[in-house]
Every structure is written in structure tokens, then in C-alpha cells.
Structure 1
């Protein structure tokens, strides 16, 4: 079974963003069921049972929808379990893929040096800053950056400049608002060339390689070699993830992000039928 968000205005229809995937899934023989994302993500913790009220009793399921916080996903999983439906990706697995501390340490050597905090306090931020050492860095929280605010909320030219670094952190915290997740993440700045590549992994095996959704017209280069990183991703033991990679200026491929595949966007350059087939 595949679970997709319902349209906000026409709740018996699939959200237009996921309509092509839902149609391809039906054609491939999947059961397609609707989930009310607003009920899941609403204030006061949402209403997970109401959100999955249209999901038929069944067995295994994969979610393909808008991003959910780890707590919201766990609530959905619990509500589905009460209907006899088990998500292929359990709540703990979702959190590991969705939040950077769940995967970053295991990718040491493949991803920029990283330090993070638990919470948004200045003392923790300064400890993480000292751990990473001097030089330039980029900032985000456990789940997301504010890349469209690069100069004011992402890029830190010099970590040893404590006051300037904290201004960037404070701005990130302000912009993320109630969606700020976990704590600050500081990553060593590395110079990259070309567009990012999004790879899709099912049960530790790369099933699809494509453009990143931000640059759908820039396909992966022919010389992308995943042989080295493949056993590392398999070692995460996660059922369905995306891994975004970029080529560093010295030619090395680096992991920029790992994400849960259920809430990772599909670039328009990958047909829905191809995507569902890979999944």
C-alpha cells in the first residue's frame, strides 16, 4: 500500500504534487490510500487517528508525502498500527534518516566534518564551534538549512569570530521558528562544483540515480561511482533513504545529506512510473 496526502480543498482526491506517483502506483498494482497531512501536522500535536481514517486495514505500507517531524511520523505509525497497517519504515528508522545526528557519524570521511548541539543555547553552540575548530562553516538545524538566506543564516566565514557566528545562529533560529528541530549543526565548509545528485536506496541498494529536485535539468555525470559509498549506506540498515552527493573541487564525491525517501522530493526529470518501479 502507498499512502499519499489528500488534497486540502478536495479531500477525496490526491494532492496534486503526488498525483502522478499515485497514478503510477495504481497502474503497478499498489493500493493507494489517502492521509490528511494537515490533521497530522496541526497544532496541539495533530490528530493522527483522524489523519488516517481513510486508510483501509491492511499490512505493509510506504508513505509518500510532505515532510513530517519525527514525533508526527511516530503518531501516524501508531494510528496506522491500530488499523492493522505497518509502515515499512518504523518511527526509529524514520528519525535516524530524517535527523542528521542519526546518520552523520556513520558517514565520517564521506561527509564534511560536523558538530551539533542538543538545543539552541549559546553555550552548546560555542562548544560545537570549538569542537569543529577555526575556519569557515555552514549552519543548519537537525533537519533543514535556510539556504535561501545564505549570508545571514547559513554561512559563517570564521568560526573563531564568536560574536559573528552567534549572529548567524540566532538568525537561523529566528527564521526556523517553531519548525526549528533538535539543535544547531555546524559543518566544515567545502568548495563544490556542479549540481547535486540525488540517489535513492531501498534496503541498502541504490535503485535510482537522478538530478536533485533543485536542478532537475542537470543530470548526474557519467563518472559518478557509488562503489565506495554503497557498503556505508547499506550499513545504515534503513529501508528507504535518499543520499544527496556533490563533487568537491578536488574531484571527490561527498555526501551532503541523507533523508528518508518517503518525504524526499522527486525531481520532475524522473518520471513517476520510473520512480515507482524503482521503489
Structure 2
């Protein structure tokens, strides 16, 4: 997965050769990193705070801003959800020692791939598998399973009425938005990402994805 800095270098190299990317480096960064899109979708996604860098002082300030209770840790572009108990889930932000232990393990696992700084997100209980939606110029073109659960097709389709105008307002050419149902039945945004680096579920062929993106507009 290309990070924002490498994408900017890539875009500049192509520009010097007379090629202009459909998604600019600034647009890629906005979609790829949570601080770029969070404000626009704040009402529809778990409350989040973040740091610049991975120093403990900034982490403690972010922890204090979010308050007490459970939280999920990630960086600007990625979590370590497959290491849930040791590097993602913080059972109670009031436990400073345990919270920093999780953060330290996260840094260790992410190594040089760590993007930006820590992001602490208020934990919300979700039920069922995530859904991945694909958007071109603010219009949703495809709704399907998330790549982590390719065999679990959504039974209930998300209501995009409130989400669609917010995605359109971002003015981003090609993005994905992952959603899940909270335990109270409300659809919530898990994250937005630049679709150029978003994986497709194995149960969707490349041909099917391309056809849907090119022709299907709800």
C-alpha cells in the first residue's frame, strides 16, 4: 500500500513527464489518512483524536482528550486489528500503563510503515461483517463485502442518505468507505480510504469490479 509521501513522489515524477494523475497527491493524502476526512464524517464515525508523532507526552494528552472507557488504537492510515488484544484494543483509557503498553506494541509492529502518529478512537460495539462501498466523484457505484470477509455478503444494505452528500463534499475522485452496523442497529463509518490502494474481496472478480465502477450508479 503506497503511503502519502511515496504517492507524492510518484505524482511528481509523472508530472515531469507530462502525465497528470486523476487523484492528486493532496487528494490521496486526504483520503488515505484519517485526519484528512474525519471532520467531514465525524457525525457518522466513532469519536477520534490523534497525535503528531509517537511520543508518550502527546499520547497521554490524546488519551486525556478522549476520556475514559474503551478505545481502539491505529495510526493515520492503518490499524493492527489482527493483533487486537496486544496492539489495537485498549479496555479502559483510564489505565495509563496498559494504554501505553498497547501503543508501544503498535509502534513495534508497524515499524517504518507507521503513518503520522497515534489515532485513538472511541470503541463502539459492531455486529456482523463490514461492508465496503466504492465511490467515484461522490457517487456510490458498488456495495459489497469487505475483503476481510469476502464470503459474507451484506444482508441489509446500508442507508447512504446521510453519508452520500458528505462524501460528495470532500470532492475526492475515487474512494472507498467501509461501514458496519453498531449494536443498536445504526450504520457507522469505519473508515474512508483512497480506492487506488483499497483491496477488493476475493469473491469479486476484477472484471466484475471494473464493470460495476464504470456502469453502475444507484
Indicate whether the TM-score tops 0.5.
Answer: yes
Using structure 1 for the length normalisation, give the TM-score.
0.75
Structure 1: state its 5+ residue gaps.
1-66
CA radius of gyration, larger in: 1
Q: 1:223 to 1:99 in 2, by over 3 A?
A: closer
Instruction: State the partner residue of 1:178.
Output: 112
Instruction: State the partner residue of 2:56.
Output: 122
Structure 2 CA distance, aligned partners of 1:73 and 1:137? 30
The structural deviation recorded for 1:175 is 0.7
The structural deviation recorded for 1:273 is 1.9
Structure 2 CA distance, aligned partners of 1:231 and 1:220? 22
Structure 1 CA distance, aligned partners of 2:89 and 2:176? 24
Higher mean C-alpha deviation, range 222-231 or range 134-143? 222-231
The structural deviation recorded for 1:86 is 1.0
Are 1:168 and 2:90 matched, yes or no? Answer: no
Structure 1 CA distance, aligned partners of 2:16 and 2:169? 31
The structural deviation recorded for 1:270 is 2.0
Structure 2 CA distance, aligned partners of 1:268 and 1:152? 28
Are 1:70 and 2:4 matched, yes or no? Answer: yes
User: Which structure 2 residues correspond to residues 71-220 of structure 1 after superposition, within 5 A?
Assistant: 71-220=5-154
Q: What whole-Å deviation, never above 9, does each CA across 1:90-149 have from its counterpart, x for those lacking one?
A: 000000000110011211110001010001011110111111110000101111111111
The structural deviation recorded for 1:154 is 0.5
Are 1:224 and 2:158 matched, yes or no? Answer: yes
Are 1:250 and 2:189 matched, yes or no? Answer: no
Are 1:236 and 2:170 matched, yes or no? Answer: yes
SS of residue matched to 2:109: helix
